[in-house]
């Protein structure tokens, strides 16, 4: 999933992320990430920029620099120091319940006996910050993981031929940037370049920022920074996507990707007359997404880490440097070709890429029959919470083009498995899910998936019957 669709301010996004990351349930009417927009929400208000969630304002009664797994607390920095894949993904989980993220990333339960020396006693932890521990069950998940294990080779990481795709996309991206700088921008090349940038987001940064490209954390980190090159922020993306969306998918209390201004994506959003046309104007909003996301990512990068993210502070310099690079690149284009056309074509570039990304994200978690109101990511069955909130579309070819994100079900179950494996393991996942009565939705074509999304939004946008 792309999972960068929250259109409130980035400061609100980052700080509210800490609320979700601390696993505090919050009513829809009060949660800062789940409120319907008071305005269009495309750019932040002054009050948004200085929003701080209540549990970050509260007085600390113990340490927050721990990760909770299966109800036990572990010292974040000690775990990070010995993590084979590097410290980044452990530090990202600071101040969270990391049970679901660990299990789905490693396809096994956490080895508590091995790390007993890193345990922090509950009496030393700020319990008010963390709240009650989740009660999700993983028995079915481990059954599926065992079933697909023979199909996943080389640890589930990228095969060597994948790097040819990386090279092609990065060379094409660079070639267009040089061409634009020397010759100026026109409509069709700008659209094509935008789609190539989306390809980088889907095929390179996404796998890398899930740690799925290589067991070498440095390779994942380098490729993950391609998110910043195309106008986003890898750090912001990982916080919002890895530790929130993947853990709380379609949970109306915790998944901020359900809170898109001007859209009613579930019944808890109070109905307004404008929603009756949301299935039509959605596509305009999605085109704007690319431009809005650039501004939000820039503001998050400049604002720096919030709350438990302070352990990631050393990583922020790289992202600010790449933000400066993007600013200089845009300035150089305007200097070489000073015109409104240049500025407009830069916007077209971002809009084309953003529309491509947002389209495939919205249809994968919003379709006829998708589960939302019944989802509680703190309880129930982890497999049901992930599979029944996602859908697949197409097959191997689309997976090759879209970085496997047409296999949303497999991706949500195994985010640290490289996308080249998804088409291969999907039949097994489906068989086990159907054996246990878990809803598994796979659309044969993009048209079918989009039509189902259209109908889903039409129904949600219609005036509720009293």
Confidence of residue 110 (pLDDT cuts 50, 70, 90): very high
Task: Identify the three-state secondary structure at position 156.
Answer: helix
Higher pLDDT, 432 or 5: 432
Angle between helices 162-183 and 187-200 (to 10 degrees): 150
CB 35 within 8 A of CB 29: yes
- pLDDT at 55 (0 to 100): 54
In the predicted model, is pLDDT for residue 116 greater than 90? yes
CB 319 within 8 A of CB 233: yes
Half-sphere exposure of 171 (CA within 13 A, CB side): 6
Angle at 397 (CA atoms; ends 419, 168), nearest 5 degrees: 70
**pLDDT, tens only, 377-407:** 999 999 999 999 999 999 999 999 999 999 9
**pLDDT, tens only, 292-329:** 999 999 999 999 998 899 999 999 999 999 999 999 99
Confidence of residue 40 (pLDDT cuts 50, 70, 90): very low
Q: What's the chain's average pLDDT?
A: 89
CB 368 within 8 A of CB 452: yes
Confidence of residue 128 (pLDDT cuts 50, 70, 90): confident
Confidence of residue 60 (pLDDT cuts 50, 70, 90): confident
201, 203, 207, 208: CA torsion to nearest 10: -70
CB 7 within 8 A of CB 43: no
The kind and range of the H/E element at 392 are: strand 392-393
Task: Report the pLDDT averaged over residues 445-460.
Answer: 98
CB 28 within 8 A of CB 268: yes
- pLDDT at 12 (0 to 100): 39
């Amino acid at each position: 999933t792309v999972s960068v669709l929250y259109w409130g301010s980035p400061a609100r996004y980052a700080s509210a992320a800490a609320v979700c990351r601390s696993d505090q349930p919050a009513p829809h009417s009060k949660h800062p990430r789940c409120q319907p927009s008071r305005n269009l929400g495309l750019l932040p208000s002054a009050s948004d920029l200085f929003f701080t969630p209540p549990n970050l304002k509260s007085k600390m009664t113990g340490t927050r620099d721990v990760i909770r797994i299966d109800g036990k607390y572990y010292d974040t920095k000690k775990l990070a120091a010995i993590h084979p894949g590097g410290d980044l993904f452990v530090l990202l989980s600071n101040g969270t319940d990391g049970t679901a993220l660990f299990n789905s990333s490693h396809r096994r339960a956490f080895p508590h006996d091995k790390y007993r020396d890193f345990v922090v006693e509950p009496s030393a932890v700020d319990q008010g910050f963390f709240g009650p521990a989740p009660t999700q069950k993983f028995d079915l998940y481990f059954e599926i993981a065992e079933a697909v294990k023979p199909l996943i080779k080389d640890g589930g990481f990228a095969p060597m031929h994948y790097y040819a795709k990386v090279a092609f996309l990065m060379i094409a991206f660079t070639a267009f940037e040089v061409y634009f700088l020397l010759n100026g921008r026109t409509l069709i090349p700008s659209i094509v370049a935008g789609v190539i940038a989306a390809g980088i987001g889907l095929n390179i940064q996404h796998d890398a920022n899930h740690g799925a490209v290589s067991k070498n954390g440095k390779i994942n980190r380098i490729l993950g920074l391609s998110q910043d090159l195309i106008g986003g922020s890898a750090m912001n993306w990982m916080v919002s996507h890895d530790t929130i969306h993947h853990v709380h998918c379609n949970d109306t209390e915790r998944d901020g990707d359900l809170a898109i201004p001007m859209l009613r994506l579930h019944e808890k959003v109070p109905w307004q007359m404008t929603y009756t046309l949301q299935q039509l104007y959605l596509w305009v909003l999605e085109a704007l997404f690319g431009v809005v996301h650039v501004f939000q990512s820039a503001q998050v990068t400049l604002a720096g880490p919030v709350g438990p993210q302070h352990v990631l502070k050393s990583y922020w310099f790289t992202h600010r440097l790449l933000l400066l690079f993007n600013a200089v690149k845009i300035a150089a284009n305007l200097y070489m070709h000073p015109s409104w056309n240049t500025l407009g074509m830069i916007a077209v570039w971002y809009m084309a890429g953003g529309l491509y990304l947002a389209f495939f994200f919205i249809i994968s978690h919003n379709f006829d029959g998708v589960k939302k109101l019944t989802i509680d990511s703190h309880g129930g069955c982890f497999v049901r919470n992930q599979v029944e909130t996602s859908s697949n579309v197409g097959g191997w070819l689309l997976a090759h083009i879209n970085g496997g994100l047409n296999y949303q079900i497999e991706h949500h179950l195994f985010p640290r498995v490289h996308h080249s494996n998804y088409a291969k393991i999907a039949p097994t996942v489906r068989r086990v899910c159907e054996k246990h009565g878990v809803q598994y939705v796979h659309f044969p074509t993009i048209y079918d998936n989009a039509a189902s999304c259209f109908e889903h939004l039409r129904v949600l946008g219609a005036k509720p019957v009293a």
